[in-house]
């Protein structure tokens, strides 16, 4: 428990943090990778290059400083980060490295303000936060290990199937090489891969959405090829049926848990449909009785993954309704057969059918897309506790 003086000092540094902005975390990562280059095998360097990871860390540090009197308001953020960390096999000793470089960064960027009292306060504050993460992550590790089909650390899986679902998205069916059961997961969660290959400059950890309901036997993930994506291009170009991958247990704080009589709307843009695919599979598998709406937007038919699967499910389940938007349909894309509406998704078209008072909404896709969805649904008066969304990569607020 931090004393009042320590909390007061940390809060007093908020203006300093705000003035530094992401320069603080950019400097932090540069010095950490300089002195501890082994961590390049842990951190996603693509997110470093794009600036998303420094921004996410800065926002987390600033939020902690601002709310240090009431850390309970950060509980959801702590859970989200802890879930991510278990997918990177983070250990307590790595928190010591991060803490060292954070304090040194403060000293180097603000030498006049970084008095011994300030550094000591931040050391205590960081230690308290690290303790929260270490404790929660150990709980997650133990839970994953102790459940049926569970394990801790790396487990070898063989690629049993590799299926092109669209021009950009490929799915992989992974089966454990030991022939044992696999841990169940909550639809919406992701699987954690540790990619090791001479063809990669560094080992890579990646999280890919699970896109079928849990079955205790195998996992199916979907991977979108990104133009400059080191891991996604490796998965598409190099990983083949019969190859073995190192897999860590499923995790993630975005998931669906609803009763069978709860109306559900699944909203996706592009590759955002991958966690929705697992949710839909779960709803159908458990004979969901309430209405299910599958709403999806993508560029055209060539980028429309799982199209045949969804059509087959719609035909077999009277409570499932689908609506698809193509921004620019191709010459082979037929209205009513492949898509319903041309242009960008407009939920107002469907408001009367999807704004039931008990409905829960799950959505995923590019940030601007999700911001539009949230703004629209909030504008209808939908309560925040019925809006659930996932941001791929480092978290950002909508």
pLDDT digit string, tens, across residues 104-147: 999 999 999 999 999 999 999 999 999 999 999 999 999 999 99
394 is in an annotated binding site: yes
Q: Which residue has the tokens 């199916």?
A: 220
Whether residue 393 is predicted with pLDDT greater than 60 in this model: the reply is no
Find the catalytic residue in 26, 126, 137, 361: 137
Give CA–CA dist 190/116, Å, rounded: 42
pLDDT, residue 4, reads: 94
207 is in an annotated binding site: yes
392 is in an annotated binding site: yes
Residue 316 is encoded by which pair of tokens?
A: 């077999």
214 is in an annotated binding site: no
Within this chain, domains 155-251 and 264-390 share the same CATH topology: no
- Residue 397 confidence class, pLDDT cut points 50, 70, 90: low
274 is in an annotated binding site: yes
Give CA–CA dist 156/328, Å, rounded: 41
> For the segment 257-289, what is each residue's pLDDT rounded down to a tens digit?
999 999 999 999 999 999 999 999 999 999 999
pLDDT, residue 394, reads: 55
pLDDT, residue 372, reads: 96
Q: Which is more confident, 394 or 290?
A: 290
Contact in structure between 265 and 354 (CB atoms under 8 Å): yes
The pLDDT of 383-397, averaged and rounded, is: 78
* Residue 137 is among the residues annotated as catalytic for this protein: yes
Contact in structure between 234 and 169 (CB atoms under 8 Å): no
Find the catalytic residue in 29, 64, 95, 326: 95
Contact in structure between 11 and 68 (CB atoms under 8 Å): yes
> For the segment 235-245, what is each residue's pLDDT rounded down to a tens digit?
999 999 999 99
pLDDT, residue 130, reads: 94
pLDDT, residue 395, reads: 55
pLDDT, residue 398, reads: 55
The top-level CATH class assigned to 155-251 is mainly beta
> For the segment 307-366, what is each residue's pLDDT rounded down to a tens digit?
999 999 999 999 999 999 999 999 999 999 999 999 999 999 999 999 988 999 999 999
306: left (phi over 0), alpha (psi -120 to 50) or beta: left
98 is in an annotated binding site: no
CATH number of 4-146: 1.10.490.10
Sheet containing 244-251, strands listed edge to edge, beginning at the edge strand earlier in sequence: 204-209, 190-195, 244-251, 155-164, 169-176, 219-224
Does this model's pTM top 0.85? My answer is: yes
pLDDT, residue 396, reads: 56
Q: Which residues pair with 364 in a beta bridge?
A: 268, 390
> For the segment 151-201, what is each residue's pLDDT rounded down to a tens digit?
999 999 999 999 999 999 999 999 999 999 999 999 999 999 999 999 999
Q: Which residues pair with 210 in a beta bridge?
A: 221
pLDDT, residue 77, reads: 86
275 is in an annotated binding site: yes
What residues contact residue 43 under an 8 Å CB cut-off, 6+ apart? 29, 33, 53
Contact in structure between 66 and 14 (CB atoms under 8 Å): yes
Question: Residue ranges per domain, the chain?
Answer: 4-146, 155-251, 264-390
Residue 297 is encoded by which pair of tokens?
A: 């937007």
Weakest mean pLDDT among 185-199, 295-309, 384-398: 384-398
Closest by Cα among 398, 347, 345, 343 to 370 = 398
209 is in an annotated binding site: yes
Domain 264-390, second-level architecture: 3-Layer(aba) Sandwich (3.40)
What residues contact residue 329 under an 8 Å CB cut-off, 6+ apart? 300, 301, 335, 338, 339, 342
pLDDT, residue 306, reads: 96
Number of Cβ atoms within 10 Å of the Cβ of 94: 18
Residue 73 is encoded by which pair of tokens?
A: 């308001």
> For the segment 74-106, what is each residue's pLDDT rounded down to a tens digit?
888 889 999 999 999 999 999 999 999 999 999
State the chain's maximal CA–CA distance in angstroms: 69
> For the segment 31-66, what is each residue's pLDDT rounded down to a tens digit?
999 999 999 988 887 778 777 888 888 988 999 999
């Amino acid at each position: 428990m931090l004393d009042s003086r320590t909390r007061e000092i940390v809060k007093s540094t908020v203006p300093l943090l705000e003035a530094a902005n992401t320069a603080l975390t950019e400097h932090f990562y540069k010095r950490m990778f300089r002195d501890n280059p082994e961590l390049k095998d842990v951190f996603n360097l693509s997110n470093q290059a794009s600036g998303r990871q420094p921004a996410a860390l800065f926002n987390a540090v600033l939020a902690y400083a601002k709310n240090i009197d009431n850390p309970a308001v950060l509980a959801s953020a702590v859970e989200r980060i802890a879930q991510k960390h278990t997918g990177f096999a983070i250990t307590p000793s790595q928190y010591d490295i991060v803490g060292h470089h954070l304090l040194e960064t403060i000293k180097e960027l603000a030498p006049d303000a970084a008095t011994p009292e300030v550094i000591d306060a931040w050391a205590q504050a960081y230690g308290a936060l690290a303790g929260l993460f270490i404790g929660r992550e150990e709980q997650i590790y133990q839970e994953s290990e102790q459940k049926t089909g569970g394990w801790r650390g790396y487990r070898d899986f063989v690629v049993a199937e590799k299926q092109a679902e669209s021009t950009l998205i490929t799915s992989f069916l992974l089966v454990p090489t030991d022939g044992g059961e696999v841990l169940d997961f909550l639809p919406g969660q992701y699987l954690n891969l540790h990619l090791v290959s001479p063809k990669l400059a560094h080992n890579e950890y990646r999280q890919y959405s699970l896109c079928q309901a849990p079955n205790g036997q195998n996992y199916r993930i979907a991977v979108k090829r990104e133009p400059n994506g080191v891991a996604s291009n490796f998965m598409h170009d190099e990983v083949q049926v019969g190859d073995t991958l190192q897999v860590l247990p499923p995790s993630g704080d975005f998931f669906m848990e609803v009763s069978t009589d709860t109306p559900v709307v699944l909203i996706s843009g592009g590759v955002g449909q991958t966690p929705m695919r697992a949710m839909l599979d779960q709803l159908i598998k458990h004979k969901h009785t309430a209405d299910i709406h599958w709403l999806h937007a993508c560029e055209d038919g060539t980028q429309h993954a799982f199209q045949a699967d969804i059509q087959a499910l719609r035909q077999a389940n009277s409570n499932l309704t689908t609506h698809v938007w193509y921004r620019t349909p191709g010459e082979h894309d037929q209205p009513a057969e492949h898509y319903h509406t041309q242009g960008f998704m407009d939920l107002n078209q469907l408001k009367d059918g999807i704004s039931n008072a008990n409905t829960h909404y799950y959505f995923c896709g590019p940030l601007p897309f999700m911001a539009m969805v949230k703004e629209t649904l909030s504008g209808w008066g939908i309560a925040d506790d019925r809006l659930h969304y996932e941001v791929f990569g480092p978290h950002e607020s909508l």
